[in-house]
Chain A
Amino acid sequence: MDALQQLFIGFGMNCLLFVLTLVMALPLGLIITFGTMTKIKPLKWVMKTFVWIIRGTPLMLQLFIVLYAPGILWHHPVSNRMGAALVAFVINYAAYFSEIFRGGIESIPKGQYEAGQVLGLTKTQVFFKIVLFQVIKRITPPMGNEVITLVKDTALARVISVAEILQNAYRYASKGIIWPLFASGLYFLAFTGVLSILLSFVEKKLDYYKG
């Protein structure tokens, strides 16, 4: 019984990490997208390099760096491990999201912008009234994949000792009790299952037109 409770509390951590990461990484990702698409060359290259570094290194490494770098480099040890995990996750996922956003925005034909422009719409109106919705429709499938990956990635927080579900399950396994490991698998399955249903519902909703 105690084990079940531990798993439940642990999974609460995973869910918290998931939700907070999503809420913060989505807007941050959009900002990074505009950074990588800006006409201001230096800013553009800084942002592109940033995205390249974040996507080109393991999330696990980023977790370690966020946890240990402040202490070692600036003598400000990080005591809040959950906070450190959140920072690493938000940065990592914002970088991935930004590339998906960029792909979506760049896939909209130039003619859509021009049609809006000759109809007297402002740049902002063109983006919000014409382009954005089409982008959302196009990026829903790849975003769905990322979001499901995020659910599972939250288990990585264990490497910096965040008391998430696998951390707790592993403590039992090390004592020779195996079932909590399988039980935690069920938690993930249930969560990703619900998400998949939700996502396919959204995709269906957006499928009222082609293109």
Chain B
Amino acid sequence: MAILEVKDMYKSFGKTEVLKGVGFTMERGEVISILGSSGSGKTTLLRCINFLERADKGRVIVDGNVIFDGSDTAKKSPSEIRKAQLNFGMVFQQFNLFPQYNVLENVVLAPKLLAKERPDFKKHKKEILAEIEEDARDVIDKVGLTEKLMNYPCELSGGQQQRVSIARALALNPKILFFDEPTSALDPELTGEILRVIRSLADKKITMVIVTHEIGFARNVSDRIIFMDKGVVAEEGSPEEVIDNPKNERTREFLKLIEQK
């Protein structure tokens, strides 16, 4: 069964129609890259899936459960939305680390707050918190930042900050991890370290959706490529199909433009 089905998503901001019926399906362990020119609606799509925006129409189904249905008139309660959001992890272009917390604190903050809602929290508080911290150290190790455990975000390079934000998202064990241009805010020489981390996650069969302008990386890491244009999926297929032999006129133009840069 598909781990994520996104169906027929529509979203307008005022009069600008940004998404005009976007949909895709992905299987557990799959890595999908979304390409497309600036303004084609890639960010908006991710934000509609993870409830940072409310889509006007469409459905989002995770593991067979409908977590969003635009035709529902009843408004979801904040706690329902929160629960649905936890299916997804999100890595932002601008990292959005919490500056007042060190690396470890950034990673454990959310798991510790969520643990408070567990019925057995009071009884096993110590063990639970110790376990969370242990897990956090593990994910921080995975992104190669064990030495920076006690450092604050302002003391890290952009690449290191982005790795912390990946660790922070991983710590909650999301079913699907979203990346929105994870390397766009970085100096070119720092993109490699992020791409290597994402590569290692792909090897561990973490399900990921990556919005990126790094065509070479997308070809290398993805099982499937989605090319978005003006709010719709213009072309979709394996990297060989979409990147090496694009059928769609817009895809060709886009790839040509990128190549020129």
User: Which positions in A face B, CB cutoff 8 Å?
Assistant: 109, 111-112, 114-123, 125, 129-130, 133-134, 137, 208-211
Q: How far is the CB of B42 from chain A (nearest CB, A)?
A: 16
Which residues of chain B are near A209, meaning CB under 8 Å?
99-100, 152-154
- Given the known interface contacts A120-B86, A122-B78, A122-B82, the answer about A115 and B98 at a Cβ–Cβ threshold of 8 Å is yes
**CB-based contact A211/B154 at 8 Å:** yes
Q: How far is the CB of A192 from chain B (nearest CB, A)?
A: 29
**CB-based contact B113/A129 at 8 Å:** yes
**CB-based contact A112/B52 at 8 Å:** no
Q: Complex: how many Å from CA A132 to CA B79?
A: 22
**CB-based contact A120/B82 at 8 Å:** yes
Q: How many residues of B contact A (CB 8 A)?
A: 30
B26-34, B88-96, B245-253: which one contacts chain A?
B88-96
Residue among A120, A125, A129 with the highest chain B CB neighbour number at 10 A = A120
Which residues of chain A are near B78, meaning CB under 8 Å?
122-123
Q: How far is the CB of B103 from chain A (nearest CB, A)?
A: 12
Of A134, A137, A208, the contact of B152 (CB 8 Å cutoff): A208
**CB-based contact B172/A120 at 8 Å:** yes
- Nearest A residue to B114 by beta-carbon distance? A120
Residue among A111, A119, A123, A211 with the highest chain B CB neighbour number at 10 A = A119
Residue among A109, A118, A123, A137 with the highest chain B CB neighbour number at 10 A = A118
**CB-based contact B168/A119 at 8 Å:** yes
Which 3 pairs show the lowest CB-CB distances between chains A and B? A119-B110, A115-B96, A111-B96
Which residues of chain B are near A210, meaning CB under 8 Å?
99, 154
Is B109 in the interface zone, CB < 8 Å from A?
yes
Is B37 in the interface zone, CB < 8 Å from A?
no
Is B191 in the interface zone, CB < 8 Å from A?
no
Which residues of chain B are near A119, meaning CB under 8 Å?
109-110, 168-169, 172
Is B85 in the interface zone, CB < 8 Å from A?
yes
Which residues of chain A are near B90, meaning CB under 8 Å?
114-115, 118
- Nearest B residue to A114 by beta-carbon distance? B52
- Given the known interface contacts A117-B85, A120-B86, A122-B82, the answer about A134 and B100 at a Cβ–Cβ threshold of 8 Å is yes
Which residues of chain A are near B109, meaning CB under 8 Å?
119, 129-130
The secondary-structure label for the interface of chain A is helix
Which residues of chain A are near B152, meaning CB under 8 Å?
208-209
**CB-based contact A111/B92 at 8 Å:** yes
Which residues of chain B are near A211, meaning CB under 8 Å?
99, 153-154
Q: Which of B81-135 contact A (CB under 8 A)?
A: 82-83, 85-86, 88-90, 92, 94, 96-100, 109-110, 113-114
Q: How far is the CB of A113 from chain B (nearest CB, A)?
A: 9
Is B212 in the interface zone, CB < 8 Å from A?
no
Is B50 in the interface zone, CB < 8 Å from A?
yes
Q: How far is the CB of A139 from chain B (nearest CB, A)?
A: 14
Which residues of chain B are near A123, meaning CB under 8 Å?
78
- Given the known interface contacts A210-B154, A211-B154, the answer about A118 and B100 at a Cβ–Cβ threshold of 8 Å is no
Q: Which of B51-100 contact A (CB under 8 A)?
A: 51-52, 78-79, 82-83, 85-86, 88-90, 92, 94, 96-100
- Nearest A residue to B86 by beta-carbon distance? A120
Which residues of chain B are near A130, meaning CB under 8 Å?
98, 109
Q: Complex: how many Å from CA A119 to CA B85?
A: 8
Q: Complex: how many Å from CA A191 to CA B82?
A: 49
Q: How far is the CB of A136 from chain B (nearest CB, A)?
A: 10
Q: How far is the CB of B128 from chain A (nearest CB, A)?
A: 16
A–B pairs, 19, beta carbons within 8 Å: A109-B94, A111-B94, A114-B92, A114-B96, A115-B97, A115-B98, A118-B50, A118-B89, A118-B169, A119-B169, A120-B82, A120-B86, A121-B82, A130-B98, A134-B100, A137-B100, A209-B153, A210-B99, A211-B99
Which residues of chain A are near B92, meaning CB under 8 Å?
111, 114-115
- Given the known interface contacts A208-B152, A209-B152, A211-B153, the answer about A118 and B98 at a Cβ–Cβ threshold of 8 Å is no
Which residues of chain A are near B169, meaning CB under 8 Å?
118-119
Which residues of chain A are near B165, meaning CB under 8 Å?
115
- Nearest A residue to B168 by beta-carbon distance? A119
- 16 additional contacts (CB under 8 A) given A109-B96, A210-B154, A211-B99: A109-B94, A112-B98, A114-B52, A114-B90, A115-B92, A117-B51, A118-B169, A119-B110, A120-B82, A120-B110, A122-B79, A122-B82, A129-B109, A134-B99, A208-B152, A210-B99
